Chains A and B, each alone.
Chain A
Amino acid sequence: MRTARKTYIILLVILGFQTAIVTAQSTSSPYSVFGLGFLEGNSAGPFRAMGGTGIGFLSEKSVNYMNPASYCGIDSLISVFEVGLFGKYSTFSTSRESQSLFNSNLKYILMGFRVTPWLATSFGFSPYSSIGYNINTLSPIEGTNQQFVKTFTGEGGVNQVYFGGSVTPVKNLSLGFNAAYLFGNVTHTESSDLYSYYLEDITYISNFDFNYGLNYRVIVDKMRFSLGLIYGSSKKLKTENVTTIQTASATETLKKRSYKYNLPQNMGVGIAFTKGFFSAGFDFERSDWEDVQFKNAFIHTRNSNRYSLGIEFPSQGPKKGTTGMIFYRIGGEFRESYITIDNTPINYRALTLGAGIPLNNWISVVNVSLEVGQNGTTKNGLFRENFINLNLDLSFKDFWFVKKRYN
């Protein structure tokens, strides 16, 4: 108990620090101009390497905050502290041209700990959605035949700090919840260097968000079949808009504008299969975005589904079954976009592969994954984003707080 308290205090300090410095801009895509931006998904290290498949899995190798019921899988002797980082290289192509961007940032900080034999908890910080774009256009100077360069940028996004718990009331049945506080801002700017003006439209967003999860396991012949269910209800986000227009001579703040941002009802089902060191899983998730409307003439929302599957298998050879065993993971994911532009969906598809490499020093495991995929299409005047995403998940199990017990 004492170590648990200590770790939570440490984590709180880190989180407080992080939220102050990281306004987690973790995407860089012109598509993030719409709505809440790019939805990040809740998959941590090993699950990311399996195409983001995790609803059916327990938090045995990593904190699986996708399904709060999974926390009961956290080993009673181990506290888990994970930091996720990523670097993403994207190439954007229209039917005529192609341009590329690179960005990298911290992705999440997660913590898992079993408090009592019947209660496992998790605490963490991660982005819910993110916005990041920088687009230059030639805009007309009305009343002349001249044009000027107008730069549009977007940044920010919605972050979440969550606290979750999981209990196992009946053998093989776990229930869990995540109570999250969503906060952040959606910031769009437009400016011109030549005419020295800068318009900044910031919508501050906040609200509480509750998610629920279930995990049920059947063990037959050393084979474990799991079923996971997750649910989150729709909610209205509290918003406050501040639009500031700045010119060489004046700054004016407009406060009367208001934008509505909502989160849709979300549910998912996942199945997982584990035998020995081998695992496989499949996820299906649905978000009812149709109920959420954004004020933008170009886009419509729609209910979106996500499908993913992934497998994990151990390295063969003498290390198999030892603490030096490496896990390999592959997976695939398909996400229907929650928006359509001129009735054209911006779907996301990716193949993932990765490895969990045990270091067993102060970093216990490094989960590396490479995600190769694309987003969108070059049809209908849109563009396609091809990306390579390198995710790094550093897992600090048996960190100093466990060693303390030996003292």
Chain B
Amino acid sequence: MTGISAGTGKRLFFLFTKIYKYIPVAIAAGVILVSSCTKLSEFDIGKDFIESQTRLQVVDTFRVDLSTIIQDSLRTSGTKVALVGNLKDDLFGNVKCETYFDLAFSVFGAIEDKAYFDSAAFILPFTGYSVGDTLADMTVGIHALTEKITTGNDGYLYSINSFDYQPVPMSIVTIHPEPHSKIDTALNFRVDALGEDLFNKIRDNDVNVSSSEWFMDYIKGFVVTPGNSANKAVIGLNAAENKINLKIYYHLSLEEPEKKEITISMGEINHQFNHIDYDMSTTYLDNIKNSGNKKMASETGYKGYMQGLTGLITKVQFPSLQDIFMESNWKILKAELILEPVAHSYDNYPLPEKLYIYQTDMVSRASSVLRDERGNSISQLTDDDNNPLTATFDYDKILGENTRYTFDITSYINKELAGKYFEYKRGLHLGLSPDDYRTTLNRILFEGKRPPVKLRLYYLSY
């Protein structure tokens, strides 16, 4: 055994001395060979005689029924946004916004001796939001309420609620609503009479300023309204905490006069709300609330209406999608809903960049902001990460021809079709976010005929 292994060792050693010097060459050759390989993702030789078992087709001929539905009203209290103004809109009808609020009571400190009243004003800062013809001047007035603001049983106030107020305004201002103007950053209503009365009552420790109850009976609240003036725009005012204030200015008559002020802030946040009046009688939407809260596009010039605060929602239904079950062996890989705004319908009303899509809830939720025409709550479709699904917005600045909203509703369609039966009646609803519905008048007029709203399916058959 030992003799043999000695010989073997010698031979092996000899073999390795022979092979060793070639090892680097062999490795280099191997590396070159392997690295020169085509990436699998780029390999296409053989494609000419491969038989595919699948076909991908795009089908966008399924019928889409377009309609407009309207909300009974929207909850506008506590949104921290106050809206004032008028819209003169030939397409959607005229809209008037007025905002209500009351004042917060606080224990007023004693006013110093030798104090003399100077002036008083309501300061309502702008949010920067405006809609309509913002180049024209607008006039708004502030009125004192003759009844207290009280919420309904649910603790909220809605766009249809209103309270009585003095017919004569306490103060009127005319502003240039262009939000970029540096001069006006707030609405400033001069209310010296109210201010002086309050000043005197505070100084004299009057019973009306001694407690919340007395104070609220004395100062019930205010409404800022465009009245009957011919405004063409609506502006937003910041109604967040401590933003809307009544300021009473006075001075102390000393050797060196000293300026002082008293600030009374807006009251309960849920007592601030926006009242919306609209008149759609000159539009296709006339009488929509008496038509089951819904009008088919065929009754509205083949258009779908969507607008915040008036509560217009565009609805789409797919009545022929059920036909898809007549074929077997298919899968929907992608489903897109494509809507285009009517050309020139948005010249004075910028298109919202964020558009959402809602489906009717299987179990209606009482807390829902939005409802379908039958009063069932609707909620937003969500994406894979459970965020609300938004449309891809293509804005064609130059020609306006390719401006469109595209929703990827693949998972909705696949879910709805999973049951081998498609219930088309519930449909899908297109609109703003729930918050924007309550705080903006943003709107879109969707084209329903040329081109129609398209449901585009990427359809795999196998």
Contact = CB atoms under 8 A, between A and B. Distances in A.
Interface of A: 30-31, 33, 89, 92-94, 97, 99-102, 133-137, 139-144, 148, 150-152, 190, 192, 195-197, 199, 201, 243, 245, 247-250, 252, 254, 296-299, 324, 341, 357, 359-361, 381-383
Contacts of A144: 58
Interface stretch (B38-46, B235-243, B264-272): B38-46
B51 interface: yes
Given A141-B57, A360-B11, A101 B38 contact: yes
Contact of A245 (B15, B46, B48, B331): B331
Nearest to A247: B331
B40 to A, nearest CB: 5
A324 B38 CA distance: 42
B36 interface: yes
Q: Which of B12, B38, B329, B418 has the most CB of A within 10 A?
A: B38
Interface in B332-362: 332-334
A142 B38 contact: no
Contact of A135 (B47, B56, B59, B331): B47
A37 B324 CA distance: 38
27 contacts: A30-B45, A31-B46, A97-B45, A99-B38, A135-B44, A136-B44, A136-B47, A141-B57, A141-B58, A142-B57, A143-B57, A151-B41, A190-B53, A190-B54, A195-B333, A245-B460, A247-B414, A248-B333, A248-B411, A250-B331, A250-B414, A298-B49, A298-B51, A324-B11, A359-B12, A361-B12, A383-B46
Provide the main secondary structure of the chain B interface.
mixed
Contacts of A296: 51
Contacts of A381: 48
Nearest to B32: A89
B26 to A, nearest CB: 10
Given A245-B331, A247-B331, A201 B45 contact: no
A134 B40 CA distance: 6
A139 B44 CA distance: 12
Given A33-B49, A134-B43, A360-B8, 16 more contacts: A33-B46, A99-B43, A135-B44, A135-B45, A137-B52, A141-B458, A142-B55, A144-B58, A151-B41, A195-B333, A196-B333, A199-B462, A247-B331, A247-B332, A296-B51, A361-B12
A135 B50 CA distance: 9
B107 interface: no
Contacts of B49: 33, 298-299, 341, 382
Closest 10 CB pairs of A and B: A30-B46, A99-B38, A249-B414, A143-B58, A142-B57, A137-B47, A195-B333, A298-B49, A92-B45, A135-B46
A297 B42 contact: no
Interface string B47-74: 1111111111111100000000000000
Contacts of A247: 331-333, 414, 460
A195 B458 contact: yes
Nearest to B44: A136
B54 A137 contact: no
Contacts of A151: 41
B336 to A, nearest CB: 12
B8 A361 contact: yes
Interface in B1-56: 8, 11-12, 15, 33-34, 36-38, 40-56
Contact of A197 (B47, B54, B415): B54
Nearest to B33: A89
A99 B58 CA distance: 33
B134 interface: no
Q: Which of B8, B15, B43, B60 has the most CB of A within 10 A?
A: B43
A80 to B, nearest CB: 19
B410 interface: yes
